[in-house]
Structure 1
Amino acid sequence: MKLGLYLLSLLLFTACAVERPAAMRHDISQVLATQTAAWNRGDAAGFMQGYWNSDSLVFIGKRGLTYGWQPTLDNYRRSYPNAAAMGKLTFSNLHITPLGARAAHVAGRWHLARPAAGDLDGHFLLVFRRIDGRWVIVADHSS
C-alpha cells in the first residue's frame, strides 16, 4: 500500500513538474513575439530581455563568438544604432523542438525590412532553457 501511494505521489509530482510540449511551444513563441515587438519599436535592450542575462550567454554570428549578455547588447547597438537601422523584424518557419522539460531549440528564419538601408535576412538556431521560471535564450547562432 505504501509503495503504491509513493509511486502515485511520484507520478503526480513528475506530471506537475514537466511542462507539456504545447505549453512550452506557446511560452517560447511568446518570448519571440515580445522580442519582435521590442525590436520593431527600436528597443534593443527590450529585445535582449528574451536572452539569459548571464556572462555564459553565447551568440554566434558572422563576426564570430560573443559571450555574455552585455557584450551581445553592445554588438546589437553597434550594428543597429537607431530604429531606422533596426528596421522591422519578422520571424518565420519556426520549428520549436522540446529537448526535455527545461530545454528546447528553435530553428527559423529572420528578416529585417529596412527601406532606407536595405533588407537583411538569414537563419537561426536558438537554444532555450527554463531558468527561474522563465524561458530564455542561452545560445543563439544567427547567420
Structure 2
Amino acid sequence: MKLIYALLILLVFSCNSKDKNNLFPSENEAKTAIEKILASQEIAWNNHDLEGFMQGYWKNDSLRFFGSKGLTYGWDKALLNYQNGYPSPDETGTLKFVITDISKIENGAYLVFGEYHLERNVGNANGIFTIVFKYINGHWKIIADMSC
C-alpha cells in the first residue's frame, strides 16, 4: 500500500512539475499566431474597422501606448485616440505592416519590430513600431505599443 501511495505522489509531482515551457505555445506557434494577428489588424484597418483593429490589443487599463502624443494607458483610450486621429476611410487608408523581427523575450512574451505604411488620399504616412505581445488566458495580445 505504501508503494502505491509513493507512486501516486510521484505521478502527481511529475505531472505538476512539467517543464513550464509547455504552458506556452512553441516559438514557431507563437510567431505564426503573432503574424496572424498583425495580418488581421491590417484587414480591419483597411476596412476602417478600428474596433476590429484593436482586438489585437489587451483590453485592459494597463495597456500602454507610446506615440506622437506621449504615453497613454488603457484600451479604451487607445481606441479613442485612433477614432479621433483616423475619423474616416480617407485617414485610415490602406495599411501594410513590414515585420522586421519577432523575438522571444521570455516564455509567453515576444518583442516585435516593424514598419507601418499607410497609403491614403490625405497623404501617405510611414513609420516604425515596437510592440510587446503577451500570452494571456490562451490568447496573444499586444500589451505595449510604441509607434512613431
- TM-score scaled by structure 2? 0.87
Q: CA deviation at 1:11?
A: 6.6
Aligned counterpart for 2:97 among listed residues 80, 86, 91: 91
Q: Out of 98, 117, 128, which is 1:123 matched to?
A: 128
Overall identity of the aligned pairs, in %: 38
- Are the aligned partners of 2:24 and 2:135 in contact in 1 as well (CA < 8 Å)? no
Of 17-26 and 92-101, more deviation after overlay is shown by 92-101
* Offset from partner CA, 1:52-82 (integer Å, 9 cap, x none): 0011001000110111111110110111001
Indicate if the aligned counterparts of 1:24 and 1:98 stay in contact, CA closer than 8 A: no
State the distance in 1 between where 2:55 and 2:16 align.
Answer: 35
- Aligned counterparts of 2:147 and 2:56: Cα–Cα separation in 1: 15
2:44 is matched with 38
> Which amino acid counterpart does residue 38 of structure 1 have in structure 2?
A
CA RMSD of aligned residues (A): 2.0
Structure 1 segment 14-93 matched on structure 2, within 5 A: 14=20, 16-93=22-99
Q: Does residue 1:134 correspond to 2:104, yes or no? A: no
Instruction: Answer yes or no: is the 8 Å Cα contact 1:89–1:113 preserved in 2.
Output: yes
- Mapped contact 2:105–2:111 kept (Cα < 8 A): yes
Structure 1 or 2, whichever has the larger Rg, is 2
| Counterparts of 1:63 and 1:15, CA distance in 2 | 38
Tell me the CA shift for residue 93 of structure 1: 3.5
Structure 2 gaps of 5+ residues are 1-5
Please give the alpha-carbon distance, in whole angstroms, between the structure 2 residues aligned to 1:10 and 1:133: 19
Equivalent position SS for 2:31 = helix
SS of 2:37 mapped into structure 1: helix
Structure 2 match to 1:109: 115
Length-normalised TM-score, structure 1: 0.90
Q: Secondary structure of 1:99's partner?
A: strand
Would the alpha carbon gap of residues 7 and 32 (structure 1) be closer, same or farther in structure 2, given more than 3 Å must change? same
Deviations 1:8-40 (A, max 9, x none): 646755453232110000011111011110000
Distance of 1:100 and 1:56 partners within structure 2: 20
